[in-house]
Every structure is written in C-alpha cells, then in structure tokens.
Amino acid sequence: MSFEVNFDGLVGPTHNYAGLAHGNIHSVNNKSKPSNPRRAALQGLDKMKLMHDLGYKQAIIPPQERPLINEYEDYNNMAINASASSMWVANSCTVAPSVDSYNNKLNLLTANLNFTHHRRIEAPQTYDILNKIFCDATKFMVHTPIESNGDFDDEGAANHTRFCNSYDEEGLHFFVYGRSQNDSEESPSKYPARQTLQASKKVAKTMQIKNAIFAQQSSESIDAGVFHHDVIGVGNKNFYFYHEKALAEEEETVIKLQDTFNGKLNFLCVKETELPMDLVVDTYLFNSQLVEYEDGHMLIAPIRCRRNPLVRKYLQSIIGRNNPIKKVRYVNLEQSLWNGGGPACLRLRVTMTESEFSALHPGIIFTDKLHLQLRKWVKHYYVGNLIYEDLFVPSYIKRCRDALQELTNILDLGNIYPFQIK
C-alpha cells in the first residue's frame, strides 16, 4: 500500500522580510517590514498539527543554518546569508516514487535553485539533510543538484505535479517550465522565468521517470507574479485545478495530459472572468494543498481566501457531493505569505510505501509529543519581532545556533549544520 506523506519545512529563527525574490510580489511588497519568527513557526506547526489530526501522514524538514557566515565572520550580504527561505521545501527537490522509476527506488533530486543567490546556497545543506532523513540507500536515492550555467536552473517540486489513479499505481509526471533555449517560445517581459525546460528534462532523465510530459507556463502569469507553477495550479491523483492563464498552450496541454494519462483526468479550470489572475496571486488560492478526502479531494487553503468575498464565494460554489473538491479547510500562514509562500510552498509531497515510510529517520515523523516539544522550543528561542539590523548582532547569531543545536537533539539528527561540523 502506498500513500502520500507531507514533509513540511520548519520555519527558521531568522524568518525576515528582505524582499530578495524578484518576481515574487508578496516578497517585494513587504520588504523591510518587521517579521515575527515565533508566530511564523507556530503557524507552520499549527498546519502540521491540523494535517496530523485529519489523519494524514506528516513529517518535518528542519531549517538550515542561518545566518550562514564563514569562519572569518563575514557579514557581507547578510540579507542573503540570513534568509530563511529553506522553509519552502516545495523547492527543495523533485520526487519520483519507486513505482514510477526504472531504478525501482524512491528518487529525490535536490534542486539547484540556481536562479537566485539566497536560494542557491541552500542546495548543499538540502542534499545533506535529505540524506539524513531518507537514509536507507536500498530504498531511497538522493541525487545531487544538477549543475547549471543558467540553462539548467531547477526550482524543484514547485513546478512539478504527479497524476495517478491511486498512489499504488504508476503515475504521470507533469513538469512546467518558464523558459527554454527555443527562441520561438514566448517569454515574460516584466519578471524572470526561473525553471528551464532543459532542467526539467534532465531531472526526469536522472530519476529514470517512466512517464513524463512538459509544458510551458504562460509569460502573462509570470509577469503577474506567478514565479512558480504552484502559485497558479495544483493537482492530486487524477484531478488538476488551475487558472485558465496558467499555461502558454492551455488547450493543447490539457489534451496532451488526458491522452498520456492512463485513465480519466478531471480538470477544473478557473476562468479569468470568475477570478482574475491578480486576485488569485494575492490570495494564493492555487498554492493550497490538495489532498485526497472521501471519494474526492480537500483543499487546504490560505485564510485570506476565506477573507476575500469573491474567492470565498467561488470556493463555496465548487464544493459538494458531486464535485471533485468535497471540503475546504483554511489555515493562517500570513507570516509565510507576506514573504511569498503559502500552504503548498511549505510542504514537499512524497508518495511512499509502508516499507519506505518505516525506513525514514524516525525523529522527523510528526507526533503529538513532537508537536509539543517543538512549540516549547520555538517559544524559548524565537523572537516576536525581528528587523534586518538584528541579524548582525553576535548574540542573536549565537541564539540561532543554540536553537539549531537543540533542534538536532530533539529530532535526533546528529551534527548536520556547518557550525556543528567545524
């Protein structure tokens, strides 16, 4: 039996609003505002607890060491070195279940995140942490990031969706890219396209995925602030929920998905006349988590979707016994959203067998006991108000390291951070 496990990124103690992500409207608009790392981390834990209480399997990916400074205490580029963006683990890697790969292992390919400096520096720690969690080499294969000079920029699972009839069966992998070497394809004019077609194809080939198709994201959506596909479309099992302006060739892509999929794919396309693209970007509707529920799906949506009358009314209109989406639950992740990441950004979806799940490092499996430990830990170490200048204070850097030292003990991960290994 196979099932989906949600691995959520634990928000780090340096959660701040530096506005580093060009093309991410929320990140840029909130630049230099005070942040609340304690609230951000607790909001993330609340979402994990909700999923756990609803009966879904839940696990944790720890934050990376931040600020990341060298042995000479170089404080240059502190905004980059202190970014807590590793919390958005949808960008950590791309996942292919063992049933989908010719090598018959659960594959995780670490994203290089080459396009932005503050995220590029995550890749080495991500690779090490994934190897600690997915530690059984007979069942898991953790791949190093793809090298890129710009042509192979890879942003991980945020531009990847797996469709299947059931989690036990072989699936269809849907890769969405923003740019390619094909000069005839459209390109955005306002904001950059991050994911490349070449990277997506290399990811699929490296993980030996049996069945994959590739489609281009629309330039119009990128210029509207949709920096990853998971801000404009989300899928689960045999259901795809997306905005009509998500893809460059929407009709052709839908036909290709249906023709390639083994069975019937269900599509729910939100029209621009129903919900304008700028509104879905503002509310992060499509960055909801879509999970199986009864004979259909449940949407775990940002609280601002409920607070917006038009989006709330739309969601009420598509929920019901005869609709694919049976229920909506709302979660408050405003601290993360102000920095450009919603429910789907905070989690990595991993389809696993019982045997594979049992082979995981046990310390990262979410339990009620671990939840209470982490809440106590956050309240002890995390501050309720953080501004950019705080990141330079030596006592705060020590506080962050002390927090991570205790976290590795709580999760029984051993020494995983650079400051522990020196």
Can you give the pLDDT at residue 76? 63
CA dihedral in degrees (327, 54, 168, 296; nearest 10)? Answer: -10
Q: Are 71 and 422 in contact (CB under 8 A)?
A: yes
Residue-by-residue DSSP string for 85-137: GGG-GGGTEEEE-GGGBTT-SEEEEE---TTSHHHHTTHHHHHHHHHHHS--T
Q: Are 59 and 99 in contact (CB under 8 A)?
A: no
Q: How far is CA 211 from the centre of its chain?
A: 22
In order along its 422 residues, the chain shows pLDDT tens digits of 999 999 999 999 999 998 776 767 776 777 778 999 999 999 999 999 999 999 999 999 999 999 998 644 555 678 889 999 999 999 999 999 999 999 999 999 999 999 999 999 999 999 999 999 999 999 999 999 999 999 999 999 999 999 999 999 999 999 999 999 887 677 888 999 999 999 999 999 999 999 999 999 999 999 999 999 999 999 999 999 999 999 999 999 999 999 999 999 999 999 999 999 999 999 999 999 999 999 999 999 999 999 999 999 999 999 988 899 999 999 999 999 998 899 999 999 999 999 999 999 999 999 999 999 999 999 999 999 999 899 989 999 999 999 999 999 999 999 999 999 86
How far apart, in whole angstroms, are the C-alpha atoms of residue 202 and residue 196? 10
Q: Are 151 and 196 in contact (CB under 8 A)?
A: yes
Q: Which of 228, 229, 243, 361 is an active site residue?
A: 228
Residues in the chain: 422
- C-alpha distances (whole Å) from 11 to each of 43, 339, 346, 379 are 9, 12, 9, 13
Q: Respond yes or no: is residue 345 known to be catalytic.
A: yes
How far apart, in whole angstroms, are the C-alpha atoms of residue 35 and residue 38? 9
Q: Which of 345, 356, 361, 400 is an active site residue?
A: 345
How far apart, in whole angstroms, are the C-alpha atoms of residue 273 and residue 51? 33
Q: Respond yes or no: is residue 143 known to be catalytic.
A: no
Q: Which of 65, 122, 155, 356 is an active site residue?
A: 155
* Cβ neighbours, 10 Å, residue 136: 14
The runs of H, that is alpha helices, within 138-276 are 197-206, 219-223, 250-260
